[in-house]
Amino acid sequence: MTTRHLVSLVTGVLIFSILVPICLSVWLAHRQAEEKFVDDLNRYAARVLIRANIVTDQAKTALTLTERFQGTPCSSAHLLAMRRVAFSLRYVQEVLYVVDRKPVCSSLELNSLAPAFPPPMRMTRDGYDAWLTKQNDLGIDRFMAALGNRNHVVMIDPESLIDVIPFGALPMETALVGNDSDLIFAQSEPLDPAVWKQLQHQNFAPVQYHGSMYVVKQVPELRFSIVAWTSLKPLKENWHQQLIFWLPFGILFSLAAATFMLRILRRLQSPRNRLLDAIRARAFVVHYQPIVALSSGKIVGAEALVRWPQSDGSLLSPDVFIPLAEQSGLTSQLTKVVVEKVFDDMGEWLKQHPDQHISVNIAPEDLISNELPRLLSRLLNQAQLHPQQIALELTERGFADPKISAPAIAAFRLSGHAVYIDDFGTGYSSLSYLQDLDVDILKLDKSFVDALEFKHVTPHIIEMAKSLKLAMVAEGIETEGQLEWLRRHGVQYGQGWLYSKALPKIEFILWAENNLDPE
């Protein structure tokens, strides 16, 4: 190669190594700003969706309470019962008694003059009729949402479905649109119908229109959509800020281009690849720590704890390799191996003891994967076990994004699996997410059990769990004093070295058989 050719090649590589990282920095700055913008908007729409579900559930509760009335329809007692329901539930505007869909009386009127409801626009999965209607006894020209069963109809103001304040600094608007009728029946600001047409045309993907970004969340049970939007001006400002952040990195990356390939080569022997090889070889064992009823000492189940055997005979604890799996995107594959090991180890024992269960720790990534529900269903059928014999434990950070965790947890519980909040008190520790998420059991972290006499927050956590009607499991019980304190404060279950450490399969089964009925 001539000097001229070598200079040309070096010059070309130099230009390439400078321009590509800088262009990539500009692209990354714009993409990150846009992703954060869309994510904020999606989070707001998800909160509106949660509110819509809460309001719908409250309407169903109102119908359930009203149907309990056994007296004479439209009597004073009946009117009082309907008024109490409407007064007690914040989202219910009116409760009507109907005969053949014709209002007879209501919580507002002794004798209703409203015309009969038309056939319902749709029916929910659990058998409730649903309408959007303007009919009322007050002559108000306004859409109301109605939900009904055999003899009663509950009226709800659609505005209550969208009365959600954004958390961030962005001013956000929202509207509710019927999927079948394209009717906009509630909106914080006017929604251009052309936007709705464009959203439908693009299969409800995010849309930019006349200087605003629009996203959609579906409410399939009631066949309407939540449209949320905000101005794109903050996106442009954020993009400039991100560019200031990313551009120096692009320049530094240009200077470090020569070392990049060395890093790639080093990664061939990285811990991630060792872990991936172990997953493919199923080179893990599972130990089982008993969970007992504190009142009797009787075993009710166990927590499955994975171990990674090393070449020197030692066992690597999950505290070491679980963070590596999370950073490397291998948690779902590792969860699959652990679940299969649990069924291999304990399937026959669980079949012999249908009142016992094994709880398995899952990662937030498992909530967005369809693989775990299919795997559990297949293994339960093969082992002939009940779904309640396999519980799922999720740490608090797994609940940080309600738009993902809430429907996934609901699906697991609907399938029959109990859901634990693991290591409670060490993560987000928010009463708000406990109210929004439907879980079964709260596990009190060992750090609180270790310092029961000094951590005054522990009794408050216990009382909070009681108020939400959550069962409790205390982790790390090691002394009789801790056991007595937890019993006295109403904690139902526990695990820890006072009873047993985590045991291999055979040792656990021997221990469990001796503690099925310790009395």
DSSP 261-279: HHHHHHGGGSHHHHHHHHH
160-199 tens-digit pLDDT: 888 888 776 678 889 989 888 888 888 888 999 999 999 9
Regions of the chain where pLDDT drops below 70 = 1-33, 168-169, 235-270, 396-401, 425-436, 453-455, 518-519
Q: How many whole angstroms from its chain centre is CA 231?
A: 28
Give the pLDDT score at 232: 78
Q: Whole-angstrom Cα distance, residue 216 to residue 203?
A: 10
Per-residue pLDDT tens over the stretch 245-294? 555 656 666 566 555 544 444 554 567 778 888 898 899 999 999 999 99
Q: What are phi and psi of 286, to 5 degrees?
A: -120, 130
Per domain, the residue ranges of the chain are: 32-251, 269-514
CA 252, CA 240: separation in Å to the nearest integer? 19
Tokens of 77: 């007692």
* Dihedral over Cα of 400, 403, 408, 409: its sign: positive
Of 410, 400, 391, 406, residue with least CA distance to 493: 391
Alpha-carbon dihedral of residues 354, 357, 362, 367, nearest 10 degrees? 40
Fold classification of 269-514 is: TIM Barrel (3.20.20)
Query: Could you count the other beta carbons within 10 Å of the beta carbon of residue 152?
Result: 22
pLDDT on residue 268: 45
Range list of H helices, 384-502:
402-414, 431-436, 446-450, 457-467, 480-488
Write down the pTM of the prediction: 0.50
* C-beta atoms surrounding 499 within 10 Å: 19
Task: Tell me the residue type at 164.
Answer: V
- Residue-level pLDDT at 15: 56
Q: With contact defined as beta carbons under 8 Å apart, do 519 and 295 qualify?
A: no
159: DSSP letter:
G
Backbone angles phi and psi of 151, in degrees to 5: -120, -5
pLDDT tens by residue, 299-313: 999 999 999 998 888
The predicted structure's pLDDT at residue 312: 85
DSSP-assigned letter for residue 166: -
Q: Which helix (H) or strand (E) holds 45?
A: helix 3-67
Q: Are 213 and 223 in contact (CB under 8 A)?
A: no
CA separation for the pair 342, 319 (Å, rounded):
19
Residue 356 near residue 326 (C-beta atoms within 8 A):
no
Percent composition of the chain: helix, strand, coil (DSSP 3-state, to 5): 50, 20, 30
Residue 496, H or E segment: none
Among the listed residues 170, 172, 197, 168, the one whose alpha carbon sits nearest the alpha carbon of residue 184? 197
Q: Where are the alpha helices (DSSP H) in 281-354?
A: 318-328, 331-352
Q: Which residues of 107-243 form beta strands (DSSP E)?
A: 122-123, 129-133, 144-148, 152-156, 173-178, 184-187, 207-209, 212-219, 224-231
pLDDT at 360: 95
378: amino acid identity, one letter:
R
Give burial (CB, 10 Å; 0-12/13-18/19+) of 397.
Answer: middle
Cα 91 → chain centroid: 24
C-alpha to C-alpha distance for 289 and 305, rounded to whole angstroms? 8
